[in-house]
Amino acid sequence: MFSRDLVGRLNHAVTTQETGEFAYLVSHLNVKTLMPLNSPVKNDRFAQVSLASLGGHMLEQISAAKQGFQAVA
C-alpha cells in the first residue's frame, strides 16, 4: 500500500532523528487515510510549512514576519 520511497523516507527520518520530516510524513499519511481514494491531496501550503520547519527555519520565518508586520487601525 505504501510506496518504497515513502517507507524509505520514514525509515530515514526515524533513524536520523529528523523530527520535522517525520512529523510531516505522519501528518501526510493521516490526511491520506481520511481522504477518499481518488481525491488528490492539496498540500502545497502544508508542504511549505513542513519544509520551513526543517532545520529550525520556521522560527526565523516567524521572527521575520513579526518584524515586517504592521497593524493599522
pLDDT by residue for the chain (73 residues), tens digit each?
Answer: 678 888 899 899 899 988 888 888 888 888 878 777 665 556 566 666 666 666 566 666 667 777 776 666 6
Q: Is residue 29 part of a domain?
A: yes
| Letter string b/e over residues 37-72, b meaning 16 or more CB atoms within 10 A of that residue's CB | eeeeeeeeeeeeebebbeeeeeeeeeeeeeeeeeee
Verdict on whether the full-model pTM lies above 0.75: no
- Structural domains of the chain, count: 1
In contact, 22 and 10? CB cutoff 8 Å: yes
Containing domain of residue 59, as a range? 4-68
Element containing residue 61 per DSSP (H, E): helix 57-68
pLDDT at 34: 79
pLDDT at 15: 92
Q: Is residue 73 part of a domain?
A: no
**Radius of gyration from C-alpha coordinates of the chain:** 16
Which of 33, 34, 27, 24 has its CA nearest to residue 54? 24
